[in-house]
Chain A
Amino acid sequence: MATYLIRRLLIAIPSLLGISVILFTILALAPGDPFSEMATNPNVPPEVREALRASFGLNDPIMVRYVRWLGLMVQGDWGFSFASRINVDDLILQRLPTTLFVVGSSQILALCVALPVGIYAATRPYSVFDQIANTLAFVGFSLPTFFTGLLFILIFSVSLDWFPFVYRSDIAATGWRWYWEMFRQAIMPITVLGLFQAASYTRYVRSAVLDVIRLDYVTTARAKGLGERTVTLRHITRNALIPVVTLVALQMPTVFGGALVTEQIFRVPGIGSLLIDAILANDTPVIMAVTFVFSCLVVLFNLIADLLYGWLDPRISFG
């Protein structure tokens, strides 16, 4: 297990390096210069500007600049936020738990909906239930999260007044009351994101189950006299989950995109809304860092998917 984990970690490093190269290239190609304001400022003579550029190493070849930038990123020195006046890594660490909580809960919700519905639909293909589930799945992933978010606010906050539509991190309550308020305000963002993902996962689960349901080993399991429940849950589902894990991992970039939108709609103070605020405030260090954190999260979830894969499929050796 340990060697498998280490090998997977080593495979993740090139992708992280590749992502960092792409990010750095985008930044280096972009017009604009941190010292451009000084060019128009008559109080700063051009020689001083040149000296400043040289002291920050902006005149070095691009390769040297990339290696230096990467070195700083690895050491955790992510720069200083222009807008918030604190270190970027502190800012991100403040916001990250909220994002992980919302994304994680919505993924659990999505799987809790998609697995039963997908499996049930696949065991009765082309039945009325299957057709309704299929149509609803199409509707589900055609409804963009920003529209469902607004619809939820319109229905549950404006009309029914059940849930608050602004997420607050400073709830003035303690004990159970705090948990209750937290639950009440988290329920809409999590549902919006969860149902969107559930729609596409349902289709994955259904087709994965359909692929294995007619295989000979399932017939064998039935012939041994196992109950239908055991066959479906222990024989079919376990095997069908293997491709689903891969597809869920491939969905991760979309999930974080959706999280960004939901955070913005419900004012959830996560890294997604941090990114939007930073863009509106021209806060380049924060923008770069958040984008990089999003990439790292995607790679991390791919890694988790690989580990799950190894657990679900004994044919993959850990050695």
Chain B
Amino acid sequence: MAGSTLASPSADPAVAAIAAPVSVSPARETWRRFRRHRLAMASLVILTLLIVSVIVGPWLWPVAINDIDFSATLQGPSLAHPLGTDDLGQDIMARMMYGGRISLAVGLAAMVVATFVGVLIGALAGMSRKVADPVLMWVTDLFLSLPQLPLLLLIIYLFREQLKALFGVEGGVFVLIVIVIGGLRWMPVARLVRAQFLSLREKEFVEAARAQGATKMRQMVRHILPNALGPVIVASTIEVSTAIIAESTLSFLGLGFPPDIPTWGRLLFDAKDQLDTAPHWALFPGAAIFLTVLSINFIGDGLRDALDPRRVI
């Protein structure tokens, strides 16, 4: 921060003076600012716990997800089954850990797809000074006005069989869901990236790079993109939670993963007819979805504060 103008009048000069001599990397500075957001830190801990438990859990709790036991159906939480059993006597904890892996993997993979497409389209639109910008933005607005859930259902209905043949039952649905959710969620990222590019491409440092003969590609990748990353990171964090909700919604409607793959949404779908006799069956997976989404949203909020250079923390 040395030598720079203070970002806002509320910035405390004394703090700036102390911080000035120490040079810190941007990542470390972001982490310092992120830690100030208490809810975001708590969410980070919860999310880490959730991720660790779905990754490590199946080793510590080696109960098969399809271990049918008719002597113990629809039981509430007990020592033998910490989260109870479903109508076939299958252990809900084992099923939730298995399903959690898939739900989280879908969220992350769909986020990668959405961010990649969004950055690509946003960057192309933002760098273009000709007709590409209005055309790409028209397409973006068009996609924004598409009803996503009905379209998602339509595409999965039409293409499921074909992809099943290509990648197998589980893989086919996974690839399809990731591509479709990612392909319908890139628009916010694209708009953000375009807005960043439009303002950054006129800045002096880009002009300097241009004057030194940097190609358009190099200007984009080496100079503009790293400076535009902050809001993109925040938006793609939120994308993870949106994608998890989208996947759970599909499974909840009975149209996502096949019945033998117990994603969290699928567990809720199976449980919804037994609400009166076995509420725990619906409550645990529902709470898992809620906690995951809530903590990701809070982390996004914390990152937004931490990555905003105008904000003094």
- Give residues in A with beta carbon < 8 Å to B: 14-15, 18-19, 22-23, 26-27, 30-32, 135, 138-139, 141-144, 146-147, 150-151, 153-154, 158, 250, 252-254, 256-257, 260-261, 264-265, 275-276, 279-280, 287-288, 290-291, 294-295, 297-299, 302
Contacts and interface: CB of A to CB of B under 8 A. Distances in A.
Interface in B266-309: 268, 271-272, 275-276, 279, 282-283, 286, 289-290, 293-294, 297-298, 301
Interface stretch (B86-94, B149-157, B170-178): B149-157
Nearest to A278: B157
A257 B161 contact: no
Contacts of A18: 138-139, 142
B249 A253 contact: no
A260 B250 CA distance: 11
B236 interface: no
Which 8 A-B residue pairings sit nearest by Cβ, starting from the closest? Answer: A257-B149, A30-B158, A294-B147, A142-B294, A147-B286, A142-B293, A18-B142, A31-B162
B248 A146 contact: yes
Contacts of B290: 142-144, 147
A132 to B, nearest CB: 12
B253 A261 contact: yes
Contact of B276 (A27, A141, A158, A265): A158
A158 B277 CA distance: 10
8 contacts: A23-B154, A138-B297, A142-B293, A146-B248, A154-B279, A253-B148, A291-B151, A298-B146
Contact of B145 (A30, A150, A295): A295
Nearest to B144: A250
Contacts of B161: 31-32
Interface string B112-129: 000000000000000000
Contact of A158 (B275, B297, B298): B275
B11 interface: no
Contacts of A158: 275-276, 279
Nearest to B252: A146
A138 B245 CA distance: 14
A261 B249 contact: yes
A158 B249 CA distance: 23
Nearest to A145: B249
Interface of B: 39, 138-139, 141-142, 144-151, 153-155, 157-159, 161-162, 241, 245, 248-249, 252-255, 265, 268, 271-272, 275-276, 279, 282-283, 286, 289-290, 293-294, 297-298, 301
Nearest to B163: A31
By secondary structure, the A interface counts as helix
A298 B145 contact: yes
B299 to A, nearest CB: 11
Contacts, number: 126
Contact of B297 (A141, A279, A288, A294): A141
Nearest to A149: B272
Contacts of B297: 138, 141-142
A2 to B, nearest CB: 24
B150 A291 contact: yes
B145 A146 contact: no
Given A32-B161, A295-B146, 12 more contacts: A142-B241, A142-B290, A144-B248, A144-B290, A150-B275, A154-B283, A253-B147, A253-B148, A257-B149, A261-B249, A279-B153, A295-B147
Given A150-B286, A276-B253, A144 B293 contact: yes
Given A138-B301, A279-B255, A260 B145 contact: no
B146 A22 contact: yes
Nearest to B246: A257
Contacts of B282: 150, 154
A144 B142 contact: no
A144 B247 CA distance: 11
A291 B144 CA distance: 15
Contacts of B138: 14, 18
A207 to B, nearest CB: 12
Nearest to B295: A142
A194 B141 CA distance: 25
Contact of B150 (A22, A30, A144, A294): A294
Contact of A147 (B148, B254, B289, B298): B289
A158 B279 CA distance: 10
B141 A15 contact: yes
B147 A298 contact: yes
A257 B147 contact: yes
Nearest to A139: B294
B145 A19 contact: yes
Contacts of A143: 290, 293
B62 to A, nearest CB: 29
Nearest to A150: B282
A309 B147 CA distance: 22
A142 B146 CA distance: 22
A114 to B, nearest CB: 17
B142 A260 contact: no
B159 A31 contact: yes
A256 B150 contact: yes
Nearest to A301: B145
Contacts of A264: 253
Contacts of B146: 19, 22, 253, 295, 298
Contacts of A139: 294
Contacts of B248: 144, 146
Most chain B CB atoms below 10 A, which of A142, A276, A291: A142
A153 B275 contact: yes
A268 to B, nearest CB: 14
A31 B283 CA distance: 38
A144 B245 contact: yes
Given A142-B241, A256-B147, A260-B149, A19 B158 contact: no
